[in-house]
Structure formats: C-alpha cells, structure tokens
Amino acid sequence: MGIIPKLKIMKKNEKPMTYAGSGVDYEAMDPFKRAAQLAGLSTDKYVERFGFKVVPWTRGESVFLLETPLGYLGLVIEGLGTKSLVADSLAELDELAAKMESLLGKSFYDKVAQCNAAMAFNDLITLGALPLIYGQYIAVQNSDWFSNKNRSIDLIEGTRRACMLARCTWGCGETPTLRGIIVPGTVDLAGATIGIVPSKDRLIDPANIRHGDAIVLIESSGIHANGLSMARGLADQLPEGYLTLLSNGKTYGETLLEPTHIYVSLVEDCLNQGVKIHYTVNITGHGWRKLMRANQPFTYVVEHLPTQLPIFDFVQQRGPVEDEEAYGNLNMGAGFALYVSPDDVANVIRIAAELGFKAFHAGYIEDGDKKVIIEPKGLEYAGKTLGVR
C-alpha cells in the first residue's frame, strides 16, 4: 500500500454533529409515515375478495403481512440511501487512489449492491417471513450511467450474491432514466422483496414478548447503510477525506462501504432448529431506539455492548458525535436483535457462530414503562422518542 500523508490535527466542532443536522430528521418524517399507515387502512378490504386478510398489527412493523390460505405473505420496499455516493467518491479519487493498490480500479458497487438488497431482506425476516422473490430498482439521470462496465458487472454480481445469502430468487427489476430528478452521474438504488411465513407456528409475533426475555444482539459488519449522510458530512471536514486512515489501517471510505450483513440464514436456521423467537429487530434508522419497536410497554435493558468497531470510534471522536446521538441513530456495532427465552440463548449464539455471525447475550426485557436503557453508557430513551406508528 502506498503512503498516505499523515492526518492533520483538527479542532473539534463547537457544536456536536447530529443526524438531523445532516438532513435526516425522523421527527419530521415519522408523522408522514404514520399518516400513510392510517390512509392505508381504508384499502384493507380489497384483498378479501381473494380470501386474504391484512394482519393489522403489522402496519408500522418492518414488514407488512397478509394472511392467506398458503400462510402469511410479507412485503418490504426499501431504499439504499446515499451509500452509493461514497463509492462514487472513491472511484473519482484517481490521483490519490493510484497510491493505494487496495482502491485502484475498483467500483465498490458489489458492496453497495449487497447493502441495497440487505435493507429489504433484513426487514422482511423480522416477523419470520423468508424471502421468495427480490426485485431491484435502479434509477439514473441518463442511460450512459450503465456504460461503465466494471460498475455494472459489480452491481449485478453484488445483487446476485446478496440473493444467495438471503436464499432468495432474484426475479425482476426496473431501470428508469429520470432526467431532472436524479443528479447527473449518480444512481438511486432500491428494492422490494416478497416473503412467506408458511405456518402460524413460524410467525414471529411481538405479542409473545414476555417479562424476563433475553435480548440477543448480533454484531454488525460496520455502519451498514444507515447514517451515511452524517458520515459523508464528516468526510468533507477531513483533510484526506475518504482516504483518512482509521486505527486499524483501513481507509475511512473503504470501511464505510463494508457490506451489510444479511441475517436471513440466522432467522431461518433458528426457526428450523426449534428456537422460539418472540420478536426480532433490524437495527437501522432510529438506532437502538428500535429495540422498543413493539407496541407493548416493556423496558429493554442492555447490560453488555458489542465489540467497539473502529468506524464508530472514529465518527464519534471526529464529529464529534455524542453517545446519545450515536446510539439513537446508528447501529453502533449491533445489526440485529432477537428476543428469546433465556433457555434459548445458547442455541441462538451457537447457530449464529455456525453461520459466521457474532452473537451475545446483551440484556433482558422487563415489565414497565416503554423505554430502552443502555447501562454501560448511562443512556435512556423514552418510548416517545420512537414514533414509527
């Protein structure tokens, strides 16, 4: 690897960085989401002519379910966000990238593609729905975007790999050219997936959450695809930008592009091996506040934290980003959570290890006010801070 100039000493911002300050304000967006859910209620009757029924409590969940004679069908539509802009920025750093063999000639869109698909797959499985079909959405300003063969090949291969990790068929896609909407040279990536819960005994229903349940956290691969707007804002403040080295010797840009874990195999294998999963949470937007996504008034107590990844140390120190903001919006090293009986904890950890995931017993659930308590950080998030329904 070539030599990168040493990072210049920087003064911390007078005001800490926030996710809302980067343009992503959940307090502004969540009211629209709740209003849309209410509007959707008036359309529920239309599936009944096929013998289907809407599962009403799934409005506001990560996946929407229909009850059918064949089991439950789930639908998720998710977008990648701005992670592709990090890949674009690295690819454009030709002069500096030439100094680093690890960056030279790469598009990174294989990693971006996996993150894009993972957003939908990891939401789908939260209620036990396993993916059947995936559809990809790629919107560009001009069809010339596809003339970059390396990038196109990487995008295809990354999507194929993601579908294989999710044990899912890649069935369709849409590639609109949206002049005047998409910024020239960029791409808007999204996707949708349909899944199935074959029987009631495999449905993950938050009504099964009990006082005394264990919280098992599955470690993330990094920042995943949430928080990139704030992370990109930080890059603009660094003298070496995305080529800034972290404590582990990897560049900031490469680390941000680490592919999102896909947790489908974990949920499926746990169900296949008799683990009674009471609920699961995909830790993305709203960060660890998502641990209290279920409607019931439970308190979620986290006693142990995941391995502290260099990317989160870096973002917090250089932002600076305070703990309350970080854990309230980023995954901070935990990408997925399962709530199970204490008797099932060992099995979940074993199954996760067999699949290459790191899982640990992080805490417990108790009756009480709806809130998340992160004891090692002295943090507490009240239920009112999560308005997803």
Q: pLDDT tens digits, residue range 101-154?
A: 455 567 899 999 999 999 999 999 999 999 999 999 999 999 999 999 999 999
| Torsion sign over Cα 209, 261, 352, 63 | positive
0.85 exceeded by the pTM?
yes
Q: What is the pLDDT of residue 7?
A: 35
Q: From 265, 228, 287, select the one nearest 359 (Cα to Cα).
A: 265
| Distance separating alpha carbons of residues 331 and 319, to the nearest angstrom | 16
User: pLDDT tens-digit profile of 22-61?
Assistant: 666 767 777 888 898 889 999 999 999 999 999 999 998 9
Kindly report the backbone phi and psi dihedral angles of residue 53, in degrees, each rounded to the nearest multiple of 5, phi listed first: -140, 140
CATH 3.30.1330.10 spans which residues of the chain?
Answer: 22-202
Fold of 22-202: 60s Ribosomal Protein L30; Chain: A; (3.30.1330)
Residue 168, C-beta contacts closer than 8 angstroms, at least 6 positions apart: 121, 131, 132, 133, 134, 193, 264
Q: What is the pLDDT of residue 137?
A: 97
User: pLDDT tens-digit profile of 186-205?
Assistant: 999 999 999 999 999 999 99
Q: Write 243-250 long-range contacts (CB < 8 A, 24+).
A: 243/4, 243/93, 243/96, 243/97, 243/100, 243/103, 244/7, 245/4, 245/7, 246/310, 246/311, 246/314, 247/310, 247/313, 247/314, 248/310, 250/310
User: What's the Cα-to-Cα distance from 250 to each of 103, 233, 253, 310, rounded to whole Å?
Assistant: 11, 19, 8, 9
Radius of gyration of the chain from its Cα atoms, rounded to whole angstroms: 21
CATH 3.90.650.10 spans which residues of the chain?
Answer: 206-385
Residue 7, C-beta contacts closer than 8 angstroms, at least 6 positions apart: 238, 239, 240, 244, 245
DSSP label of 76: E
Pairing relation of β-strands 71-79 and 130-140? unpaired
Q: Is 222 left (phi over 0), alpha (psi -120 to 50) or beta?
A: left
**CATH code of the domain occupying 206-385:** 3.90.650.10
3-state DSSP assignment of residue 247 = coil
Residues of the chain below pLDDT 70 = 1-14, 19-24, 26, 94-105
| Distance separating alpha carbons of residues 263 and 175, to the nearest angstrom | 27
Cβ atoms of 271 and 203 within 8 Å: the answer is: no
- Letter for the amino acid at 150? N
Q: What is the pLDDT of residue 49?
A: 96
